[in-house]
Amino acid sequence: MPSEPSVPASTTPVKDYLDRPARGATEDHLVVPRSLAQSMPLRWQQVFVGLLADLHDAYGHLTWPDYKIVPSRRELLVDLDEEQLRAAGYHADLGPDGELEYRDADDQVVDDPERHRVLAPVDDPLPPASAGRVEPRPAAPL
C-alpha cells in the first residue's frame, strides 16, 4: 500500500495558531488569564510553568516592561458610554444640526457610527485569580 505524502510540520506553530482568531491574542501579545492558568489540571500547570521558565530564561536578558492589561471588546461606537468613548479615543457632541455626532481623536466626524466598531474597555468577565479555581467546561459525552 503506497504511503500518503507527508506534510511537513510547521516551523512556526505558535504563529500559525495565534494568527487565526484566538482568545487573548492580539497582533503583538498573548494574554493568559491567571485565574484560568491556575485552574488548569496539575499536569498542564507543570508543563506550562516549565515552558514559562524556559521562555523567561531564554529572553530574561531583554528589558521587559510592565504591562497594564485592559479587558476590551469590539463594540459599536453608539453603544459606548462617555468613559468608554474617551478610553477608545472618541467623543460625542451635538453637531450643528442638533444631532449627536461622534468624533475621533483627530476631531474628524465618524461616518456611520451605528456600524463603526472600536476596541473599548469593558468589565472583565473572567474572575480574578483571587476568586480561586475556575471550573472548566464539562467534557463532551462519549
Could you give the angle at the alpha carbon of 119 between the alpha carbons of 115 and 124, nearest 5°? 125
Residue 90 belongs to a domain = yes
Structural domain containing residue 82: 72-121
Residue 34 belongs to a domain = yes
Residues 46 and 76 in one domain: no
Q: Which residue in 84, 66, 82 sits closest to 74, CA to CA?
A: 84
92 and 1 Cβ atoms separated by less than 8 Å: no
Please tell me the total count of domains within the chain. 2
Residue 7's pLDDT band (cuts 50, 70, 90): low
In the predicted model, is pLDDT for residue 85 greater than 90? yes
Residue 6 belongs to a domain = no
Residues 91 and 113 in one domain: yes
Which pLDDT score is estimated for 31? Answer: 95
Residues 83 and 117 in one domain: yes
Cell 455626532 appears where?
A: 101
- The string of pLDDT tens digits covering residues 35-64 is 999 999 999 999 999 999 999 999 999 999
- The string of pLDDT tens digits covering residues 90-122 is 999 998 999 999 999 999 999 999 999 999 999
Residue 25 belongs to a domain = yes
41 and 29 Cβ atoms separated by less than 8 Å: no
Residues 85 and 115 in one domain: yes
Residues 80 and 39 in one domain: no
135 and 127 Cβ atoms separated by less than 8 Å: no
- The string of pLDDT tens digits covering residues 17-32 is 999 999 999 999 999 9
